[in-house]
Amino acid sequence: MEEMTLRDKCREVERLSRELEDHLQQGFVPKVHELRKLCKPQEADFGGIPDITIRSQIQQVLASERYTGEIYEALERGLVLIAEDVNGLLERDHATS
């Protein structure tokens, strides 16, 4: 992303923010809610939920969390690059005036 123009960086950051929002709403949060439902004690269910089911759901939540972190890191890096570019433009403009 370092070699992109400021406009392209802004577009990429916008895309990443939409991707993060979609992932959280459509992937991460539903997986966490499902895990919470599985872990709640069920009065009518004396047999309980098999451990393998809970472990599988935990693995899905952890994988989703890793992906969330990857998107967030890319988004954060893009925002830092945008801030650096804008500061450079402001400094250059200030030096010429």
85 within domain boundaries: yes
Q: Which tokens belong to 37?
A: 């439902």
82 within domain boundaries: yes
| Position 24, amino acid | L
Question: Count of domains in the chain?
Answer: 1
68 within domain boundaries: yes
pLDDT exceeds cutoff 70 at 27:
yes
Q: What is the pLDDT of residue 66?
A: 98
Q: Which tokens belong to 75?
A: 């988004």
Mean pLDDT of 37-61: 83
Interatomic CA distance for residues 66 and 54, integer angstroms: 18
| Per-residue pLDDT tens over the stretch 34-45 | 999 988 877 556
Q: How many CB atoms lie within 10 A of CB 97?
A: 5
34 within domain boundaries: yes
26 within domain boundaries: yes
| Position 25, amino acid | Q
Q: What is the pLDDT of residue 22?
A: 98
Minimum mean pLDDT among 4-8, 30-34, 43-47, 52-56: which range? 43-47
| Per-residue pLDDT tens over the stretch 80-92 | 999 999 999 999 9
Query: What is the secondary structure of 15-73 as a DSSP string?
Result: HHHHHHHHHIIIIIHHHHHHHHHHHS--SS-SS---HHHHHHHHHHHHHHHHHHHHHHH
Query: Containing domain of residue 17, as a range?
Result: 6-96
